Amino acid sequence: MPINVKECDGGIGILIESRGRVMDQELIDSLERHLTHDKEKFKKYKYILIDHTALTKMDITNETVEFISELIADTSRVNPDSIVAMVVDVTYGAGIELLNRNSRLHELFIYRSFWESRFFRTKPQAVKWIREMVRDKFGIDDLTFS
């Protein structure tokens, strides 16, 4: 599956990794499964790390982007204190279309959610920022992301 989601740090974080080509329904199914089914569990998350560095193509329509926008807005109301980092380092070969799609998804996190979120080019930058934010906001300083 091109989208892998796993809980980290004893259930206070979630890592969403995508690779290869991601299609509309794959993205919708993955996000719905992990962001909506267990709202009590989601309330425990302090951070969400979305890593798209291995993504080569994203075939999603504007309707899917709008659906995901609503999903993210609803989910962020359940736990508005989560810290969200999205990592995208698009190579020349991947194409500008992938960058545009990821930029639109990132805008969703900024403008439609209650989450504090940032966009990064490398995973180490995102991890560093999440560690700082979670330490400052929640007093947790031993994140391993595993």
Q: For residue range 65-97, what is the model confidence (pLDDT) as tens digits?
A: 778 777 777 888 888 888 989 887 655 545 555
In a domain, 143, yes or no: no
pLDDT tens digits, 102-123: 666 666 666 666 778 888 889 9
For residue 35, the enclosing domain spans 3-138
Query: What's the chain's Rg over C-alpha atoms?
Result: 14
What's the total number of domains in the chain? 1
| Percent of the chain residues topping a pLDDT of 90 | 23
Please name the residues in contact with 55: beta carbons below 8 A apart, sequence gap of 6 or more: 2, 18, 19, 20, 22, 88, 94, 98, 102
Directed axis angle between helix 96-111 and helix 62-78, to 10°? Answer: 30
**Residue 145 belongs to some domain of the structure:** no
Mean pLDDT (the chain, rounded): 81
This prediction has a pTM of 0.83
Residue 7 CB-density burial (10 A; 0-12 exposed, 13-18 middle, 19+ buried): middle
